[in-house]
A = this chain, B = another copy of it.
Amino acid sequence: MLGLLSEGPASGYDLMKLFDVSLSNVWPATQSQLYAELGKLADAGLVDVSAEGPRGRKEYAITDDGLAELRRWITDVEPTRVLRSDMLLRVFFLAQVAPEQARAYLSHQAALAGRHLESLKRIGELLESGQDNLSVYGKITLEYGRRLAEAQQGWAEWAETEVAPDR
């Protein structure tokens, strides 16, 4: 929230849409969560209502405290680095199904990663032009996803060959 608001004021509704197009792949959140969080941030004085519009629209702006907190969070708080993947969890127990099924599963994962990769590439092309802040770091973030998808695809293809080499 603070990050998005640091680029300029926005309403909950605006933030929700921004989320869907930018952050949802990095940090999913729901609409309810978002409105609740805005309330808490306002209580804590990290954002405040900068304007009110039609339909009860409340436009929030980040405060100086909020900006300070955002910067503190970026630099001083250690990322938690937890991977949680139910896909991998399944792979770990793939011995429970027949080898053909295991290979099919991995091959399906490779295909999914491939499709994901293509879609990221397409998004990258759309982003190509911009030079603003969000787009510079947005591209870096996107590139992470691209490399990840690539690694995932390669891994799944390799893994398929590792499963029960038939004799």
Contact A144:B155 (CB < 8 A) given known A74-B93, A79-B87: yes
CA distance A147 to B136 in the complex (A): 26
Q: Is A166 an interface residue (CB 8 A)?
A: no
- From B93, B133, B141, contact of A88 by CB (8 A): B141
A87 to B79, CA, bound (A): 5
A159 at the interface (CB under 8 A from B): yes
Give the secondary structure class of A's interface. Answer: helix
What's the least CB distance linking A113 to chain B, in Å?
9
Instruction: Tell me if B22 and A92 are in contact (CB < 8 A).
Output: yes
Q: Residue on B with the closest CB to A160?
A: B140
The count of chain A contact residues (Cβ–Cβ below 8 Å) is: 59
A27: min CB distance to chain B, Å: 5
Please tell me which stretch of A33-41, A44-52, A94-102, A122-130 contacts chain B, meaning at least 4 of its Cβ atoms lie within 8 angstroms of it.
A94-102
Cα distance A136–B85 in the bound complex, in angstroms: 19
Contact yes or no, A147 B137, CB < 8 A: no
Q: A10 to chain B: closest CB distance in Å?
A: 15
Q: Please give, as numbers and ranges, the residues of chain B lying within 8 Å of A89 by CB-CB distance.
A: 3, 23, 26-27
Chain A residues with CB under 8 Å of chain B are 3, 6, 22-23, 25-28, 67, 70-71, 73-75, 79-97, 101, 105, 109, 112, 133-134, 136-141, 143-145, 147-148, 150-152, 154-155, 158-159, 162-163
